[in-house]
């Protein structure tokens, strides 16, 4: 059974523990600007919403990459950036309809969520349960993918 991140925005307090845990896991330093998960601030609504890669089944980022630098991790289902192969062309950042592939100018490469090899640090660091790692069928991931497919089809038709 594939697992995925489930985000419940109603539980997010905006503490940024997820961003700090992610950046520490991937860089060894607490630096939220290097995090692969971001907390979006809906200031006018008084809400905070964490967001990161949805690990699309038909991943546009992976399909768009001209050098095959984004590959499927068969164990987790994550689409993982092979940094050694990435040439920094940013095509994947344009292809992602959710804006969750990020270019790092200081290294000339892209980064995205890799689900921490099946133990997402953002989920374990979240003190309120706003981010959990659960069976994919319980997350609404299929609905999100269906919406993304409709959006992509509409964009192609336009």
Query: What is the three-state SS of 12-65?
Result: CCCCCHHHHHHHHHHHCCCCHHHCCCEEEEEHHHCEEEEECCCCCCCCHHHHHC
- Determine contact, residues 81/90, Cβ cutoff 8 Å: no
| CA–CA distance, 154 with 158 (Å, rounded to integer) | 6
Task: Give per-residue pLDDT as tens, 71-90.
Answer: 999 999 999 999 999 999 99
List, in order of start, the domains of the chain with CATH numbers. Answer: 3-149 (3.30.70.20)
* Banded model confidence at residue 109, pLDDT cuts 50, 70, 90: very high
| CA–CA distance, 104 with 34 (Å, rounded to integer) | 8
Q: Is residue 120 pLDDT above 60, yes or no?
A: yes
Q: Write down the pTM of the prediction.
A: 0.82
């Amino acid at each position: 059974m594939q697992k995925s991140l489930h985000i419940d925005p109603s539980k997010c307090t905006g503490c940024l523990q997820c961003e700090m845990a992610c950046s520490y896991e991937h860089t060894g330093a607490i630096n939220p600007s290097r995090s692969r998960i971001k907390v979006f601030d809906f200031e006018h609504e008084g809400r905070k919403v964490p967001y990161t890669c949805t690990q699309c089944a038909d991943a546009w980022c992976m399909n768009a990459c001209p050098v095959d630098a984004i590959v499927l991790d068969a164990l987790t289902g994550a689409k993982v950036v092979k940094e050694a192969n990435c040439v920094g062309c940013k095509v994947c950042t344009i292809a992602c309809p959710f804006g969750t592939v990020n270019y790092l100018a200081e290294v000339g490469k892209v980064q995205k969520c890799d689900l921490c090899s099946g133990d997402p640090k953002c989920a374990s660091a979240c003190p309120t349960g706003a981010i959990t790692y659960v069976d994919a069928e319980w997350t609404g991931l299929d609905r999100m993918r269906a919406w993304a497919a409709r959006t992509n089809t509409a964009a192609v038709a336009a």
